[in-house]
Structure 1
Amino acid sequence: MMHFCSALILILVTTVCSYRIGAGKSDITGPVVQVMLMGYAEMGQTGQGILQRLWARSFIVQDGDNRIVFVNTDTQSMGDIIKKRVINTLETRYGALYTEKNVMISSTHSHSGMGGYLQYTLYEFAALGWIEETVKPMVDGIVQSIINAHDNLEFGSLALSQGELLKTNINRSPQAYLMNPKEERSFYKYDVDKTMTVLGFKNEAGDDLGLISWFAVHGVSVNNTNKLVNGDNKGYAAYLTEKMVNSGKYSHGKFVAAFSQSNEGDVSPNTLGAFCTGSDTPCDGTRDSKCPNGSRCVGRGPAWPKSDLQSNRIIGENQAFKALELYHARMSAQQVHGKIDFVQRYWDITKAIVTDQNGDQHKLCYPAMGYAFAAGTTDGPALNGFYQNTTKGTFGWNLIKNIIQKPTESQKTCQSPKPILLDTGEIGTLHPWQPEILDIQLFRIGNVFIYAVPSEFTTMSGRRLRASIKKSLIQHQLGDQDTVVIHSGPANGYASYCTTFEEYQHQRYEGASTPYGPHTLQAYIDAFDQLVFMMAHPNNHSIKSEKLPDYTKQGFNFSPRYRSDQPHIFRSFGEVIQDVSPYYSKRTQSTPFVVSATFVAGNPRNDPMLGKTFLTVEKKVNNQWIVIRTDNDYDTRFIWKYTYQLLGMSEAKVEWHISNDIEPGIYRLGYMGNSRAAFSKKIVPHSGYSSEFEISNMY
């Protein structure tokens, strides 16, 4: 059936509205306190509240009987079991409409979200366990975002735009990048990808529905001292974009903006470079540029030394403004139309056998992590005494690591030149330390192809895989020279890093964190060649898919237990402990000033408040209180702590960082929480408000 875009025809725009499209979002914020944040693996980086909420943003594209679902989450990665549970829940509602094959769940790679949703031992140690308290709201929120997109399905059009975004990312391992052949590097202007790709969604009336942006930059603008949950630079970009569009004059308030990750493995938002702390001495995290005792090699964002949160805002703004520019560039945009298709496979990477350029065959390794893995990166240094670019182990650490698991000779040969620190693939436990079966996937929307990988690909490894997939698509007559191939990940699971063979030899952090050995990239290239073949020959292939294992019942949870709540003596839950001042004058300088109030609180783990808020900022208008801020706004903070943990007494501070563009008026701060009584599982909501205060223009 042909569908006519009557509104667009009237203004002589030749867009074909051939799809049903829908966009939706939902809150996935889990326990914001007492659970380690996922990404830096920094012991003690335990949640203490909220800077911004975390979201799942879903997009559905349907053409006849075929449809695909792309989901982007404000998380470090996506758990394979999370996806499995999402699919199981969807099946109870929609039957076989949504499956593991046509649902792709990607991530922003923020390092400031709750941990506990990856089922393998190494990643459980990074967050102190498999934490159902994190998992349930994440699954519920992802499912709800897909339901919202499903319920919003309407006829519309898609447009693809690409453009160069500068001053937003740098290569944090340029020495490893230079290991790649000079002839190959000469094809590219930069040592990171500067291209942003935007897929725009509009309905047949021309209303703006949403966009998906892909751009390579790590989610580490907010550093490893942070303890407030947030979506880092891509989370802020999405927040800002939706705020700008949905408050616009012609907006219908449903615009959803997803800022997805691409091949960011060696890509940093700390654009000023890395320096030894307390000095202006450049460094690169190696022993050759060793910082003095007490100093660490740390990357600096664009707002250094002012604030990492301001750096986060700048990197997020850059992406938001560029994405909107590309979204509205309709004249240069490529209209997307054509077939919808999808293929997916559970693939055992350790069984892969690849052939190198000399014709020699190599079997992929069982997973292992190298010495430079323990060094961390210039975005987040880890253990003292370890350095990047480490190709030889030390006597002392070899003794220690052999107690945990001594690598076999075949494993050492397979992983060479990586000196193995953690032989994760040969530890004989029922609960594997790292995955062997990976969820890989390929979507088609006309001449646009989106592929999902669970690993963090470096710049050049992503470039090679994209080029290989495009070549394969052309060979199988699924694509042409104008085909656009998009890298999305970490998606559908997490499997650490993937470098090129040449970068692997250098053994910086990224190479040391490539678990399956130096030929990992070639194995991915071969696997996606098979996916393309499956798409080209849907009923005529013998390529099998493995079964995804579920180890969650063998998992552990070392996150702290929490007890019932008690109010402070002679006080009630929600009562103000420390109030605001009655009057504030706006300052002439650009630095925001802070208004705060502290309340008697219950533990926020009692209820993550999905779709709600722990705080409000309210303005009095015509003698009524109007909410103007929640805990999802970037200028508010919700900070919680125990005052007497043994007694279950705690307090919550609500902060509002006020900039000069705030209108004068009468305001108040609000707190919302929940408490659990002793010897009871019953959760009781409570709330409280500060005194009202005035903000004046007088200086």
Structure 2
Amino acid sequence: MYKVGWDKQEIHIIPKGYAMFGYGMWTHRADKKRTALYARSISIQHYLSTPLIFCCLDFGCITHAMRSEAIKQLQQRLGSSFQEQQLVLMATHTHSGPGGCGYEALYNMPTPGFIPEHLDAVIQAIVESICNALQHAEDTEISITSIQFDDITPIAWNRSIKAYNRNPEVLPRTEQETHLALNRRMQLIGFYRQNQLQSFISFFGVHATCLGNTLNAYDGDNKGYAATLSEEFLKQKGLINPVAIFAQATAGDVSPHFHGHKQQKIRDQIQGEQEYQYAQQNGRYQSELALQALSQPLNRIEGEIDALCTYVDLSNIEIPAEFSKGIVDARTSQPCHGQAFFAGTPVDGHGAPKVFTHGMSILAQWVRKKRLANPDSPQYAKYQALYASQGVKNIVMEAGDKKILGQNVDVIPGIFDPLIGEMNKQIKAGAIQDSPLVPSVVPLQLIQLGPLVLVCCPGEITTIAGQRVMKTVQKIVALNPNIKDVWLSSYCNDYMGYITTFEEYQQQAYEGGHTLFGQWTLSAVQFKFQQLAQQLCIAKDLREYDQSTRPKPIPKQELAKRTNHGNVKTAASQGGGG
């Protein structure tokens, strides 16, 4: 028997016209609130062990600022009864939630800048929901199960079918079969008292992009609607304050919009109020399937809980031959954004016009050729390693070196894009000289709940990339006869962009262009999760793994210079993403 508690707290952020996080668009601003956004928490304790805590936010992503500040406050309030490696922070990845909550500079550019009041509101909701969940823990039975969406439910489509079909282990799918080129199985953890479902966690990968980038309100999108519908259903059963978490899984290449013949025409028919109805329907599909699967506690579990969390620098990992296709000296590199990143995604979030992205490609290729033309150049070895790691990507932005198309960012005229203009402004103000544009040191986490191991990944991971990570972990933990299942949760604990397979990366669709650390990114993630899984199989007092590495502190004076003090901008911009 476990002791389990749950709670949810609204994230109280007043819409003031700041840009939302997700689409990366200067014009995608929140002037009102359509639905409440929540922090939903569930704590699980086995006998006298330290509680395992899941907290899911109706947000686009988790940032290191969110996790580190929440941990600091939880340690102050809970003392030794709280251990940070047992905290799983997850995001639903709604693209209609607040921005400005990260210490790193790039993803805050549209907001514009860092918004302390947004971060404070998030931390308050996280901490209060967790403390309340711990306080109200009672004896609870836990059941795990999974259930498949049938082939005809219009819940999700693969948006990068050409990249998906490059994977040797898949059955190639046609343009008419994109709904089958994904994992249509939902995995669930249910919490029961007196054989009655009380609360639950769902894992199913689909982007929360039912709502497009022309709307102007905070909204939980499909995952938020799924949670609300499920909680309302449980309340009608007489339950008080039930919590339904709809977390993400392998959502990287999975869209809630149709992808196939005439896809843009079909998407354009869903506008305005219809987008909210579409999001509600998608959420309803998820809610109904979850409640169907959890109607009875069929697969009760028992056993210990355990957790491991380590931070790794993804910008410089040597890939073992096991994961490098036999290529010697394969490595990751500094984070780089490709032309495909700036082009955006089909249907979900278009980026810059084709004429601009085509020009980016031409210039990126010219920069590469120029850098590699002279082997005697003092920078030749550096750039040779960079391009070997980044492969076919047409590099537009080197986030590590803060360069665009080979030039310092502030050299590029801001007239081309207000986001570049904002970056120029921050550079000239001395706001990002010693600050990273994006995270490179990110947390990888494994959770054991009885016979289940959950892989907690900080990136947007594609369907097949996620399968490979789970197989890597499964191969190691299979040595423990008590472990039966390995699942994956994405958008956990921080944000590292995308993770594609090596084969998908070669297509350089949006997902590959946003796989920051090069074509060996997945290999690095597999390697590091393999090492962590090996530690999970060792007695706790014999484990030896890095528990001290963390991202370098952001210079306070620089963070202050890029903090927005109410100066909300309204200029138009090109942007994109998903």
Q: Structure 1 residues 156 and 541, CA, compared in 2 at 3 Å: closer, same or farther?
A: closer
- Conserved 8 A contact 1:470-1:479: no
* Aligned residue number for residue 24 of structure 2: 41
Deviates more, 1:409-418 or 1:299-308: 299-308
Contact 2:157 2:179 in 1 (8 A): no
Of 343-352 and 216-225, more deviation after overlay is shown by 343-352
Q: Check if 1:384 corresponds to 2:353.
A: yes
The amino acid of 2:566's aligned partner reads: R
Give the match for residue 424 of structure 1: 399
Where do 1:326-405 residues align within 5 Å? 326-330=293-297, 333-354=298-319, 355=321, 356-358=324-326, 360-378=328-346, 379-385=348-354, 393-395=361-363
How big is the shift at 1:151?
1.2
Partner Cα separation in structure 1 for residue 395 and residue 36 of structure 2: 38
SS of aligned partner of 2:119: helix
When you count strand as a share of all residues, which structure comes out higher? 1
Deviations 1:369-419 (A, max 9, x none): 10000011120101112699x89821389679x99x999343122211111
Tell whether the 8 Å contact from 2:157 to 2:180 is kept in structure 1 after alignment.
no
Superposed displacement of residue 62, structure 1: 0.5
Measured at CA, do residues 397 and 111 of structure 1 come closer, stay the same or move farther in structure 2, by a change above 3 Å? farther
Q: How far off is 1:158 after superposition?
A: 0.5
1:257 matched to 2:244: yes
| Aligned mate of 1:198, from 188, 209, 231 | 188
8 Å Cα contact 2:360/2:396 also seen in 1: no
Q: Which residue of the partner structure matches residue 451 of structure 1?
A: 455
1:543 aligned residue (545, 553, 561): 545
Post-superposition shift, 1:234? Answer: 0.3
TM norm structure 2:
0.83
Tell me, yes or no, if the aligned pair for 1:131 and 1:557 is still in contact at 8 Å: no
Take 2:204 and 2:343, find their aligned partners in 1: how far apart are those partners?
A: 26
Take 1:217 and 1:309, find their aligned partners in 2: how far apart are those partners? 16
Q: Aligned partners of 1:349 and 1:100: how far apart in 2?
A: 21
Residues 304 and 311, structure 1, Cα contact 8 Å, conserved in 2: no
The DSSP-based 3-state class of the residue aligned with 1:393 is helix
Q: Which residue is 2:424 aligned to?
A: none
Query: Which residue identity does 1:439 align to in structure 2?
Result: P
Structure-2 residue corresponding to 1:282: 262
Distance change (3 Å), C-alpha of 1:26 and 1:363: same
Look up the equivalent residue of 2:184 and give its one-letter code.
K
Q: CA separation in 2, counterparts of 1:344 and 1:184?
A: 35
Tell me, yes or no, if the aligned pair for 2:105 and 2:435 is still in contact at 8 Å.
yes
> 1:170, 1:267 within 8 Å by CA — same for their partners in 2?
yes
How many angstroms apart in 1 are the aligned matches of 2:528 and 2:365? 36
What is the count of residue pairs matched by the alignment?
515
Q: Do the aligned residues in 1 keep the contact of 2:364 with 2:395 (CA within 8 Å)? A: no
The equivalent residue for 1:162 is 146
Note if contact 1:418-1:507 (Cα within 8 Å) is conserved in structure 2.
yes
Q: 1:298 to 1:520 in 2, by over 3 A?
A: farther
2:110 is the alignment partner of 1:121: no
Please give the alpha-carbon distance, in whole angstroms, between the structure 2 residues aligned to 1:562 and 1:416: 40
Larger radius of gyration: 1
Task: Give me the whole-angstrom Cα distance separating, in 1, the residues matched to 2:5 and 2:278.
Answer: 33
Asked if the contact 1:195/1:215 (under 8 Å) is kept, the reply is: yes
* In 1, Cα distance between equivalents of 2:359 and 2:455: 32
Q: In the alignment, what sits opposite 1:415?
A: 390
Per the TM alignment, residue 478 of structure 1 is displaced from its structure 2 partner at its CA by 5.6
Taking the aligned partners of 1:391 and 1:528, their CA distance within structure 2 comes to 38
Q: Give the TM-score of the pair, scaled to structure 1.
A: 0.69
CA distance in 2, matches of 1:492, 1:552: 22
Whether the aligned pair in 2 keeps the contact of 1:375 and 1:386 (CA below 8 Å) is no
In 2, distance between residues paired with 1:445 and 1:263?
20
The residue identity in structure 2 corresponding to 1:323 is A
**What amino acid is aligned across from residue 450 of structure 1 in structure 2?**
L
The answer (yes or no) to whether the contact 1:374–1:386 under 8 Å persists in 2 is: no
Instruction: Assess if the C-alpha contact under 8 Å between 2:318 and 2:331 holds in 1.
Output: yes
Q: What is the aligned partner in structure 1 of residue 411 from structure 2?
A: none
8 Å CA contact 1:350, 1:436 repeated in 2: yes
- 1:304 positional shift: 6.8
Tell me which residue corresponds to 1:579.
none
Give the counterpart of 1:171 among 126, 146, 158: 158
Offset of residue 434 of structure 1: 1.5
**How much does 1:438 deviate?**
0.6
Q: In structure 2, what is the equivalent of residue 267 of structure 1?
A: 254
Q: Cα–Cα, structure 1 residues 485 and 494, in superposed 2: closer, same or farther, change >3 Å?
A: same
Measure, in 1, the Cα distance between the counterparts of 2:3 and 2:268: 41
For residues 199-253 of structure 1, the C-alpha deviation after alignment (integer angstroms, 9 at most, x for no partner) is: 11113x34432010111100100110111001110001111111121123xx232
C-alpha distance in 1, partners of 2:495/2:519? 18
Matching residue of 1:561: 566
CA distance in 1, matches of 2:119, 2:474: 36
Letter in 2 for 1:548: P
Matched with 2:524 is 523
In structure 2, the CA distance between the partners of 1:518 and 1:71, relative to structure 1 (3 Å rule), is same
Larger fraction in helix:
2
Aligned to 2:202: 213
Do the aligned partners of 2:195 and 2:296 also contact (CA within 8 Å) in 1? no
Instruction: Report the CA distance shift for 1:241/1:541 in structure 2 as closer, same or farther (over 3 A).
Output: closer
Question: For the structure 1 residues 183 and 227, does the alpha-carbon distance in structure 2 shift closer, same or farther, using more than 3 Å as the test?
Answer: closer
The residue matched to 1:395 in structure 2 has which SS?
Answer: helix
Question: Deviations 1:50-97 (Å, cap 9, x if unpaired)?
Answer: 000110111111012322101111010101121111111111111022
Q: What residue is the counterpart of 2:412 in the other structure?
A: none
Do structure 1's residue 142 and structure 2's residue 126 form an aligned pair? yes
CA RMSD in angstroms comes to: 2.9
1:167 positional shift? 1.9
CA gap 1:303/1:189 in 2 versus in 1, 3 angstroms: closer
> Is 2:207 aligned against 1:239?
no
Q: What SS class does the counterpart of residue 334 from structure 1 fall into? A: coil
What one-letter code is carried by the residue in structure 2 that aligns with 1:261? Q
How far apart are the structure 2 equivalents of 1:396 and 1:441? Answer: 36
SS in 2 for 1:168: coil
Look up the equivalent residue of 1:340 and give its one-letter code.
Answer: I
Which one-letter code corresponds to 2:293 in the other structure?
A: L
Equivalent position amino acid for 1:220 in 2: T
Unaligned runs of 5+ in 2: 372-378, 404-432, 571-578
1:24 paired with 2:7, answer: yes
- Indicate the residue corresponding to 1:309 in structure 2: 276
Q: For 1:345, what is the secondary structure of its paired residue?
A: strand
Q: CA deviation at 1:360?
A: 2.5
- For the Cα contact (< 8 Å) 1:497–1:511, is it kept in 2? yes
The letter for the 2-side match of 1:192 is L
For residue 368 of structure 1, what is the amino acid of its counterpart? C
| Cα separation, partners in 2 of 1:132 and 1:181, compared to 1, 3 Å | same
The alpha carbon displacement at 1:339 in A equals: 1.2
Q: Write the letter of the residue equivalent to 1:362.
A: A
**Contact 1:59–1:70 (CA under 8 A) maintained in structure 2:** yes
- Ranges in structure 1 where 5+ consecutive residues have no aligned partner: 1-17, 275-280, 284-296, 564-640, 642-699
Query: How many angstroms apart in 1 are the aligned matches of 2:128 and 2:143?
Result: 26
- Residue by residue over 1:493-544, the C-alpha shift from the partner in whole angstroms, topping out at 9 and shown as x without a partner, is 0010000000000100000100001111111111111111222223334432
In 2: Cα distance, 1:432 partner to 1:549 partner: 9
- Aligned partner of 1:484 in structure 2 is 485
SS across alignment from 2:85: coil
The structure-2 alpha-carbon separation of the partners of 1:391 and 1:496, relative to structure 1 and needing over 3 Å to count, comes to farther
1:199–1:212 contact (8 Å) kept in structure 2: yes
Q: Quickly say closer, same or farther: Cα 1:44–1:306, change in 2 above 3 A.
A: closer
Q: What CA deviation, in whole Å up to 9, does each residue of 1:135-157 have, x standing for no partner?
A: 00000000011011111100110
Larger relative CO (CA 8 A, sep 6+): 1 or 2? 2
Deviations 1:425-473 (A, max 9, x none): 2238311112111111111111111121111001110111111111111
Matches within 5 A, 1:496-535: 496-535=497-536
